[in-house]
Structure 1
Amino acid sequence: MSNSATDHATIPQTLWAARGRHTGPEPDDVVRRTLRRHKESGGIDDFAEPPAPEDSFVQIFEARWRTDGTVTVRARLTLLPRRDRPEGREWTLVAEAERPWDDAWPSPATLFWPEAGATDATDGAWDHHPTVVGLRFRQVNALPEDDKEMRRRLRDAARDAWCVNLVVHEAMTPDERGRLPLARLLPPGLRHRVVEHRAAPQQLRAVNWALKDLGVEVPRGGAVLLPPDPAPAGYDGREHSVRTVFLDGSEPTELLTAVRHVAGLPRPFPQGAEEALMDLRENWTLLTLQEELERERRLVAMYAEALQAMTKSRDLYREAAEQAHQALAVYRDAPVPPALPHQQQRAGSRSPSALQQLTRTFERLKFSARPFRPVPVPDGDGTDTAGPAEGTP
């Protein structure tokens, strides 16, 4: 498990990001109904379903609303194909505001998905953990009885940095109020990003054995927050444990403060979140008239800048070509330069013997280059037969 934020970009404070898995039928219809209901009630300004990229089977939904009356929020939900996760359809939701995100604002998840207690039971099937089967948001997740299975679940859950993992140990068997999820006491912006794991009273030793590889330990009757992967710079897991958590229905102030602190740390992007943010910014289609006008102006300015750069490059190339042609013409018309003094001195300093040797060499070459001439040779009947005579002048 990585404990460093090196080489990871940091999530901007304006971003809210979450992901999960819908296990019911037709999740796209659930999203459409929810968005339509919020638009009719004024909860959102507008929504759209832009076309997916070519050769892609994802479904995309966009929504825009104003929080606090003036802060515009743009959000984009992506549904992956069911074939990627046979047990359901994974979804990714990113929302970006005009100023740093406030966890007191409404959760973007409840604007795309129905709230708990919906009349249609299948509408509430969207809050499953994206990768770990059996885990759900908004609910208490009892840890498995098997030690190895418990260790595997906590390890796999900690790898997903999209959410905050909270492990609570029950000092004694809680009553009905103590069995309620603690996430309901968190601000709206955090309720759908926290996974609550519960260890029974007799599981204290087993859960700490399972947490050993993660470098944290849960106190008896307390709670601990699992370190995300990758962890924020300077993260110390020992600082994010709570000694005592009363499961009697009262508000655990110290624990809620620790959760808000961890969620507010400058965190690196989890896997896939940076791409989802870039997709939101670059492929956003739900524009107002003013936004469309500003977008066209930016495109015109960008094209004008590119055209100016191309024109400048063309002029520079033409100028360089003209200079090269001028230099070549000057080089062709220039007279042969006279020998330099030191070259003349070197030629005159040659000894007569060297010059004579060079002359004899040329004479031998000239002599050897002469053609062969036939020489008459008498045969037996007195007739002359031409034959080559090597070296005959």
Structure 2
Amino acid sequence: MPTSPSDRPPAPATVWQTRGRHAGTSAEDVLRRSLRRLKADQDIDDFLELPQAEGDAPDLVFEARTRVAGQVTVRARLSLAPAADDGQEWTLVAEAERPWDQAWPSPAAMFWPTEPGAEWNRDAVTGLCLGEVNPLPRDDKAARRLLRDCARSGWNVHVVVHEAMTTDERGQVPLAHWLPPGLRHRVVEHRAAPQQLRVLNWALRDFGVEVPRGGAVVLPGAPAPEGYDAGDFAVRAVFLDGSEPADLVGAVTRFAALPRALPDGAREALTALREDWHLLTPEEELARERRLVAMYAEALEAMTRSRDLYREAAERAHEALAAYRESAEAVVPHAQRPADRPASALQQLTRTLERLKPAPRPRRAHAPESPDAAAPTAPVEDAAPVAPEEAAEPRTVASER
């Protein structure tokens, strides 16, 4: 048996939710007739059917609003799935302006007719009637399968009652007759015949739950709420004689008050109720328009501030660029030609080195390749003047030879 809730968020104390199935046909027509009658009788303040999108075959959505305990507003949203072979599944989520009181009327009565023989009050998991007595199947396998499905259900409260002996008409009074109005459409009551006790406990042993002989137990659901202990929600004796089963009523009421995690699909339904609500009063419509105007004004102010900051930054950038250009023109006049520009330090150094470079020496006469070959000697008067150093050089060469 699961003993701790999963990581799903807990259900808010202001929320009431259930899921069921309409076993007949044309559930939407039943809802429309019921809502018109409830509004005419002033049982609800108003209702609204949301337009259905074309092509996607989505759920049909109805909204209703009422007041309980004087001035506590309750908003409820019912989504109706497309028709299937076993009927149409519906999901109902309601939220009040303060923590929910089980003494308030059931939100299911804000949409569905409450006359006997209604076809809407079926549990979505088991198909059994809500708020009525449901005998366990006689087949052992079917009974075990049903009980295991009920133990895993998180939308409604499942109660198993064992009949110690065959009851008469007085013993067939459903438990919902004694429950607070807010629980009557959330409780599924299972009745086990006297000979089904062993099968019953065999099916529930995996969940750590046991039904006393002639008693009853509230199944934990999945996930089990915090603080759930099978012994605290088991009743040892239930007298099915038409009198109020006070102990069992107290166990069911205490179980419903425990903090429980939202069942599968409830978080999406609650989000749609809070964020996609359309049935507004004139005061609520005016308040919403004022919030929109304030939001748009804030957005416009933020855009204006951003525009001013951008303009100021652009002006500063232009000023900086103009100052840079002025300083550049002061250092190097714009009209100065490249030839008139002062030479750089590298160019000046290159020119200085070129001036200091020594003049090239004149080419020397080559000695004859053979001793027998004598070089012709130019007349003295035709020879060019020779420096003393250059005149001494041939003698040096001749002496070396």
Match of 2:216 in 1: 223
Per-residue CA deviation, residues 232-273 of structure 1 (Å, 9 max, x unaligned), is 223222221111110001111111011011101111111111
Q: 1:102 aligns to what?
A: 101
Cα distance, 1:150–1:325 mapped onto 2, change above 3 Å: farther
1:60 and 2:61 correspond: yes
Cα 1:328/1:4, change in 2 over 3 Å? farther
- Contact kept, 8 Å, 1:147 with 1:210, in 2: the verdict is no
Q: Is the 8 A contact 1:49 1:61 kept in 2?
A: yes
Aligned to 1:193: 186
User: The residue matched to 2:220 in structure 1 has which SS?
Assistant: coil
Post-superposition offset of 1:52: 3.1
**Which piece of structure 1 moves more, 66-75 or 182-191?**
66-75
SS at 1:113 equivalent: coil
Provide closer, same or farther for how the CA distance between residues 204 and 300 of structure 1 changes in structure 2, counting only shifts above 3 A: same
Q: How far apart are the structure 1 equivalents of 2:234 and 2:285?
A: 49
Q: Which of 111, 120, 129 in structure 2 is aligned with 1:126? A: 120
Secondary structure at the aligned position of 1:238 is classed as coil
For 2:246 and 2:115, the matched residues in 1 are separated by: 24
The equivalent residue for 1:270 is: 263
Secondary structure of 2:170's counterpart equals coil
How many Å separate the matches in 2 of 1:63 and 1:6?
Answer: 31
Could you report, residue by residue, the CA deviation over 1:10-65 in whole angstroms, capped at 9, with x for unpaired residues? Answer: 11111111110001121111111111111111111111111135634321111111
- For residue 291 of structure 1, report the CA deviation from its aligned partner: 0.3
2:171 aligned counterpart, secondary structure: coil
Could you tell me whether the CA contact under 8 Å between 1:107 and 1:188 is conserved in 2? yes
What residue in structure 1 maps to residue 290 of structure 2? 297
Q: For the Cα contact (< 8 Å) 2:132–2:189, is it kept in 1?
A: yes
Residue matched to 1:172: 165
Query: 1:115 maps to which residue?
Result: 114
Equivalent AA in structure 2 for residue 72 of structure 1: T
- Residues in 2 aligned to 1:4 and 1:53: alpha-carbon distance in whole angstroms: 40
Larger Rg: 2
Partner SS for 1:177: helix
| Deviation of 1:280 (Å) | 1.2
The residue type equivalent to 2:110 in the other structure is L
Count residues in correspondence: 326
What residue in structure 2 maps to residue 364 of structure 1?
A: none
Distance 2:151 2:322 in 1: 73
- Give the direction of change, closer, same or farther, for the CA distance of 1:48–1:254 in structure 2 (3 Å limit): same
Task: Name the structure 1 match of 2:341.
Answer: none
What percent of counterpart residues are identical?
Answer: 63
- For residues 62-91 of structure 1, the C-alpha deviation after alignment (integer angstroms, 9 at most, x for no partner) is 111111221111111111001xx4210001
- Give 1:220 deviation, angstroms: 0.6
CA contact (8 A) 2:150 2:221 kept: no
Matches of residues 1-393 of structure 1 in structure 2 within 5 Å?
2-53=2-53, 55-82=56-83, 85-117=84-116, 124-133=118-127, 135-309=128-302
Aligned equivalents of 2:66, 2:287: Cα separation in 1? 19
Output the CA distance in 1 between the equivalents of 2:233 and 2:305. 58
TM-score (norm 2): 0.75
Aligned residues of 2:132 and 2:174 also touching (Cα < 8 A): yes
Structure 2 contact 136–143 (Cα < 8 Å) conserved: yes
Q: Deviations over 1:302-321 (max 9, x none)?
A: 33334445556667778889
CA-to-partner distance for each residue in 1:298-354, whole Å, 9 max, x for gaps?
2222333344455566677788899999999999x99xxxxxxxxxxxxxxxxxxxx
Query: Would the alpha carbon gap of residues 323 and 207 (structure 1) be closer, same or farther in structure 2, given more than 3 Å must change?
Result: farther
**Map of 1:352 onto structure 2:** none
**How far 1:182 sits from its partner (Å)?**
1.1
Unaligned runs of at least 5 residues, structure 1: 335-393
